Structure 1
Amino acid sequence: MMQRNRKVLAGIALSGALLTACGGDDLPDRNQSAAGLGQSLFATDHTIVDRRPDANPQRNAYFGDLHVHTTYSFDAYAFGTLATPYDAYRFAQGEAIKNPAGFDMQLREPLDFYGVTDHAMFMGVAAVAADTSSDISRYPFTEVLHDLNEADNMDRWSLPRRMRSFAGLLAGLIPGIINGDIDPEEPLSITRRAWADTVKAADMYNDPGRFTTFVAYEYTTGSDDRGNLHRNVVFESSDSVPEVPFSRMHSNNPEDLWDWMDTLREAGVESMAIPHNSNGSNGQMFKLVDWAGDPIDDDYAVQRIRNEPLVEITQIKGTSETHPALSTRDEWADFELMEFRVATTLPSKPEGSYVRDALRRGLALEAQGITNPYTFGVIGSSDTHTGAAQNDESNFSSKLGVLSADAQLRGSVPFGFIEGLLFNTVAPQAMTEVDGKTFVGGAQPTFGASGLAAVWAEENTREAIYAAFRRKETFATSGPRMKLRFFAGYGLPDDLFDSADGVAKAYATGVTMGADLAPPVNVKESESEGQGALRFAMWAQADANSAPLQRLQIVKGWIDSANETHEEVIDVACAGGAAVNPASNRCPDNGAKVNLSDCSISANTGDAQLRTVWTDPDFVASQRAFYYARVLENPTCRWNTWDAIRAGTERRSDLAATLQERAWSSPIQYVPKLGVVVE
């Protein structure tokens, strides 16, 4: 692979001074008005109070969201969002904030950490362009934004204008800059101020020991065929961050983003990029060639996994674990699929678009002698565009502000005859007919009330949580706050979790989720019993505000001697103490049901906890493999069923009425090359 020129990128990374949390000469005065940015920059003095408790060496589970947009994202502003990063952090700590349509949004319980990730490209520009007193509002293409989010425009009849504003800003700015009609410093100066304000908000609300914030943003790019290649960039701290985030206006090549991150790292600024919505990438996210179309090599792989140790496996725009076309023997592979390329109605190719497939591709690359770029861990997040995480099926307003503010706009309830005619006239491509009724079609009805990022960390601080990200001791949930432990080792005892020090023993004698596992020493090649047996210790706890647990599973992938990859889903613990059927590797049906008239669920079915120590009977010490844990709840109502009940209408027949919420651990990678098997 040709070595890319890093000098230009180094200049981008370090031009001017690095922006520090303490301020700098390039920052606006704290009393300066930030017209169109939602509130004054640095409007509130603050003092950080360190109230952290003693660190827990066995680590605590912390839940958060690392994919949150506010009014500074050009698309969120077009959706009607006025919530600032300050509002987003207040929401995450349990306060109510307003949806663009005027109703309150509030969490059932606060989160532990949060990261605002506004789009780096033209950050803050839409909000300023909407203010007719600003300089940038003089351009004709900004007229559609003028006063867009005044109170009398916050209704469904503003939707056509909002869609025009979303496209018009980019269609005006980008050619204008390229053609020399717009000085790039004009939008860049707005972005610089919005980014400084984003950093300030994160520091203002960071409360070590109680609530953690991360300085972050979204890098937005895609392939020529409109495949999604977006990443969220998360900084370890705010001590020194660049004065301008790297965006597609610098380069649309993710490899250039990694170069920029490496350059920052050499200067002492640590960050990571987290890809999301691989499901909408049309096979581009986990492809086997680089940006130039050359086969992946070691340089590419090492740089990618250094900068991208995690991927987002679930969010509102669908879950990216796997697809029925890829995992034909996984009965739960069709979970919350969004099968379009992002922001289109074009289908997205499954191959190269899903996490489990990428894990298998990584094994195949290793078999060819190439470093594996896909040994990542997993998190979930929301991708909300209202500042407020949306992961409660019973209280889901989706992510698009005014565009998804009611059940009809979300696609779960049909339009009346007159409204249906109007919407079919204005936006026929966005409508669909189901059972003779007119609904919103396309991707929006497939959106899900998901997800959450979760970590095991010693304390609720930036340092501890970021370290968990780096070692990949992370798990993802589709919304509920279920907890999931996952360890691997040789000869782990059956009663590991029966003792108070079981977790400590697991840490001491095994490896945890996200880690690499070396082969056993002094055991026979195929030994699957006794002290040399490869064993997995798993523990899951239900969310008290959600449904009981139904089953605990292992997902295994491996490569055989013919260099063919395989996968298997194995139930390892069943609700009610039921035994797994050894022929099918499945738990018996536990009879859990949902009453679709009121969404009540079966009583006395399912468990508050599931745990087991499982031995892989097919373990071969010389065979490369990965393993991850998955836990499923009993069925509950999907958000569209809740919408239909509240509206007093029949459920939309082409949408799932129920779902099984779940959590996924980061994979443990079994790597024979890490050690030597002694016969």
Structure 2
Amino acid sequence: MRIIAPTALSLLLCTPLLVNASEYSPYVDEDFPRNLYWGDTHLHSSFSMDASIMGNAALPPAAAFQFARGETVTANNGMRVRLQVPLDFLVVADHAEHMGILPKLREGAADILADPIGQRLYETLTNNPDGSSLLMGELLKSTSANSPIIANDAIERSVWEESASTADAFNDPGTFTTLIGYEWSSMPGADNLHRVVVFADAADKVTQIKPFSSFDSEQPEKLWAFLADYEAKTGGRALAIPHNSNISNGRMFAVEDSDGQPFNREYAVQRMRWEPIIEVTQIKGDGEAHPWLSPDDEFANFETWDFGNFGALEGDNKENYMLQHEYARSALKLGLQQQALLGVNPFKFGMIGSTDSHTSLATAAEENFFGKSSTVEPGSNRTYGSASSVASKSGNVMFMPWEYAASGYTGVWARDNTREELFAALQRKEVYATTGSRIAVRLFGGWQFSAADINRPDRTRHGYASGVPMGQDLPTASGEQPGFMVYASKDPNGANLDRIQIVKGWLDTEGELHEQVYNVAASDQRRIRRNKVKPLKSTVDAASYSNSIGEATLAAFWEDPDFELEQSAFYYARVIEIPTPRWPAYDAARLGAKIDAAVPLEVQDRAYTSPIWYTPATDTRR
């Protein structure tokens, strides 16, 4: 046997060289959120009183979870329906007020019939041809009077326990996450102050309480106190999400508390502790911007609902002075002003989208939209634009079913698809809203970025290492201008992108508020000249369109040309799709629906990121 002496090369190949003790792999200590998860934080099932009265009698929370995770479900109109791509998470947020009462009445549940009022309501529902209408009248009257029609603690607890245990049963960490929640439906004077309450915890903690409803109080401050008590009692975590500020008649983002007193520092701290995000878009309209507030913004008039509040049926309509306290962009600006006064920003919120559908079906895509309620599911003449259609009428106000928006979803950047990680992302505001399309978008801000960074293959890692993501504060100024990296990609099953914009709001040194929308990236090699971009020619033809225009991805590095070191500001990205058919166009093509000339048949869906904030170094208030 011949033995060959080792050469220098063979020794080099066999012997590890320890140049230093540091790790070689650059990814070992990285812990930033890499994954994008899609979900709906605001969906109603048959357990919601209004959903059940409006035709959703057959789809309880279990059906909502089944649908969201990708199963085929039979809607209340008898049609089968399925999502093209399953969601990653869902919150079934049934109204706390009268939760689960209608299903119990319909089935004649023993605990309902044992209650004298329950027995009377059951007889009204089952023995009268107009029982549903009579019952709805009683329930609505009860809600308006802030008095539960059935005040039965055992029934309320049993329904809540069933709702929470159902969510636990469908929770599948890593695959499909269910977050337990409900809706607190406050509407003093018919002004919408609704919040969705979301828990990070499982049923064992959540069922130690029962939902705090508007029957307990209509004041958000009392809801926050309840959430603080919940956390102290259980060791759990919770937050609240305001929605439909656009029908609050100026109350959602008013700069006074529920008692009409100006904000103080404690109020501002509490509001941001419990309400770190808002729902900026949903079926009942888009709340990012309003054309009266932002006349120079060509995209501000999007799915606008501004006819009034829940009292619009009685002629209580909108006045322009209310709008500044209803739309997200305006509220973000008001927050800068309040921070200058209080030292804390009460409106330092991130933005998400959800459906608020009452059908148990989280459908937000234009081509698969099953409506707000079961009364306006496909085939219900929901697109017919005359007074004979289903509508709410009040003087010169006419709301038509075709005005419902097919919106929206929440995009969450997180490490894993679990309750822990998703809830943490909601709290830190690393989330964003879309109006139904699954557009992927990242936004980073910092003082060290350059134009070359947008083309780095590791730009996301660099974004976290050298800046901050959406939802966060820029560090103390260390450069002349902040730089922003923003990049987006189309919905894999949807439309190309038209453009990316950065929306800035700021407070000048004289105390005046300003805003500006900057075009920072445009498709089809269009040049941005004096902040203007030539519109794309639409390819929409009835219920079809073409991705022959637009781009699959867009990216930009942008520095604020109007930056002033002494001025506080916020920045968020808005990503706009090319024109596509709006949902009534699909009704016409598939169902032969009659379409009135007033019905819009095109839409440009979009995404809104949570903002990044800048506070001057001389102002330590954050």
TM over 0.5: yes
Structure 2 residue corresponding to 1:624, chosen from 568, 571, 588: 568
1:189 lines up with 2:135 in the alignment: no
Change (3 A) 1:382 1:183: closer
Matches within 5 A, 1:517-528: 517-521=474-478, 523=479, 527=480
Matches within 5 A, 1:536-615: 536-581=484-529, 583=530, 585-596=531-542, 599-615=543-559
Provide the rounded CA distance (Å) in 2 between the counterparts of 1:572 and 1:471.
26
Q: Which amino acid aligns with 1:632?
A: I
Map Cα deviations across residues 108-135 of structure 1 (whole Å, 9 max, x no partner): 1100110110111121112212334533
Matches within 5 A, 1:385-396: 385-396=358-369
| Deviation of the 1:174 alpha carbon | 8.4
Map Cα deviations across residues 256-292 of structure 1 (whole Å, 9 max, x no partner): 0001111222332210000000011111000011000
Provide the rounded CA distance (Å) in 2 between the counterparts of 1:408 and 1:89.
25
Change (3 A) 1:347 1:113: same
Q: Which amino acid aligns with 2:159?
A: A
Provide the rounded CA distance (Å) in 2 between the counterparts of 1:322 and 1:164.
39
Residue aligning to 1:116: 92
| Deviation of the 1:208 alpha carbon | 1.0
| Deviation of the 1:647 alpha carbon | 4.1
Change (3 A) 1:342 1:128: farther
1:254 lines up with 2:226 in the alignment: no
| Deviation of the 1:347 alpha carbon | 2.8
Structure 2 residue corresponding to 1:166, chosen from 120, 133, 136: 136
Structure 2 residue corresponding to 1:413, chosen from 373, 384, 389: 384
- State whether residues 359 and 375 of structure 1, in contact with CA within 8 Å, keep that contact through their aligned partners in structure 2: yes
- State whether residues 576 and 605 of structure 2, in contact with CA within 8 Å, keep that contact through their aligned partners in structure 1: yes
Provide the rounded CA distance (Å) in 1 between the counterparts of 2:114 and 2:273.
42
Question: Secondary structure of the equivalent of 2:417?
Answer: coil
Question: Secondary structure of the equivalent of 1:644?
Answer: helix
Provide the rounded CA distance (Å) in 1 between the counterparts of 2:30 and 2:46.
36
Q: Which amino acid aligns with 2:126?
A: H
Answer with 571-580 or 627-636: which moved more: 571-580
- State whether residues 573 and 587 of structure 1, in contact with CA within 8 Å, keep that contact through their aligned partners in structure 2: no
Q: Which amino acid aligns with 2:219?
A: N
- State whether residues 208 and 461 of structure 1, in contact with CA within 8 Å, keep that contact through their aligned partners in structure 2: yes
Provide the rounded CA distance (Å) in 2 between the counterparts of 1:340 and 1:303.
31
Residue aligning to 2:468: 511
- State whether residues 58 and 504 of structure 1, in contact with CA within 8 Å, keep that contact through their aligned partners in structure 2: no
- State whether residues 132 and 146 of structure 1, in contact with CA within 8 Å, keep that contact through their aligned partners in structure 2: no
Answer with 279-288 or 641-650: which moved more: 641-650
- State whether residues 85 and 116 of structure 1, in contact with CA within 8 Å, keep that contact through their aligned partners in structure 2: yes
- State whether residues 279 and 354 of structure 2, in contact with CA within 8 Å, keep that contact through their aligned partners in structure 1: yes
Residue aligning to 2:250: 283
Question: Secondary structure of the equivalent of 2:524?
Answer: helix
Residue aligning to 1:263: 229
Provide the rounded CA distance (Å) in 2 between the counterparts of 1:452 and 1:97.
20
1:372 lines up with 2:345 in the alignment: yes
Provide the rounded CA distance (Å) in 1 between the counterparts of 2:124 and 2:343.
51
| Deviation of the 1:301 alpha carbon | 0.7
Question: Secondary structure of the equivalent of 2:571?
Answer: strand
| Deviation of the 1:161 alpha carbon | 5.8
Provide the rounded CA distance (Å) in 2 between the counterparts of 1:211 and 1:55.
25
| Deviation of the 1:409 alpha carbon | 4.1
Provide the rounded CA distance (Å) in 1 between the counterparts of 2:212 and 2:64.
23
Unaligned runs of 5+ in 1: 1-53, 149-157, 434-439, 528-532
| Deviation of the 1:673 alpha carbon | 4.1
Residue aligning to 2:15: none
Map Cα deviations across residues 287-330 of structure 1 (whole Å, 9 max, x no partner): 01100001111111110110000000111111110111111111
Matches within 5 A, 1:464-503: 464-503=421-460
Provide the rounded CA distance (Å) in 2 between the counterparts of 1:337 and 1:661.
13
Provide the rounded CA distance (Å) in 2 between the counterparts of 1:108 and 1:432.
41
- State whether residues 283 and 405 of structure 2, in contact with CA within 8 Å, keep that contact through their aligned partners in structure 1: yes
Structure 1 residue corresponding to 2:376, chosen from 401, 404, 410: 404
Change (3 A) 1:279 1:147: farther
Alignment size in residue pairs: 578
Q: Report the TM-score when normalising by structure 1.
A: 0.80
Unaligned runs of 5+ in 2: 1-28
Provide the rounded CA distance (Å) in 1 between the counterparts of 2:191 and 2:417.
36
Change (3 A) 1:648 1:104: closer
| Deviation of the 1:369 alpha carbon | 3.5
- State whether residues 73 and 118 of structure 1, in contact with CA within 8 Å, keep that contact through their aligned partners in structure 2: yes
Residue aligning to 1:91: 67
Q: Which amino acid aligns with 1:251?
A: S
Structure 1 residue corresponding to 2:195, chosen from 231, 245, 256: 231
Q: Which amino acid aligns with 1:510?
A: G
Q: Which amino acid aligns with 1:103?
A: M
| Deviation of the 1:183 alpha carbon | 7.2
Provide the rounded CA distance (Å) in 2 between the counterparts of 1:358 and 1:493.
31
Residue aligning to 1:62: 37
| Deviation of the 1:625 alpha carbon | 0.3
Question: Secondary structure of the equivalent of 2:180?
Answer: strand
| Deviation of the 1:351 alpha carbon | 2.5
Q: Which amino acid aligns with 2:36?
A: A
Change (3 A) 1:396 1:432: farther
1:205 lines up with 2:153 in the alignment: no
Provide the rounded CA distance (Å) in 2 between the counterparts of 1:409 and 1:221.
31
Residue aligning to 2:335: 362
| Deviation of the 1:602 alpha carbon | 3.6
Residue aligning to 1:7: none
Residue aligning to 1:24: none
Matches within 5 A, 1:296-315: 296-315=263-282
Q: Report the TM-score when normalising by structure 2.
A: 0.87
Provide the rounded CA distance (Å) in 1 between the counterparts of 2:158 and 2:524.
56
Structure 1 residue corresponding to 2:105, chosen from 129, 134, 142: 129
Question: Secondary structure of the equivalent of 1:577?
Answer: coil
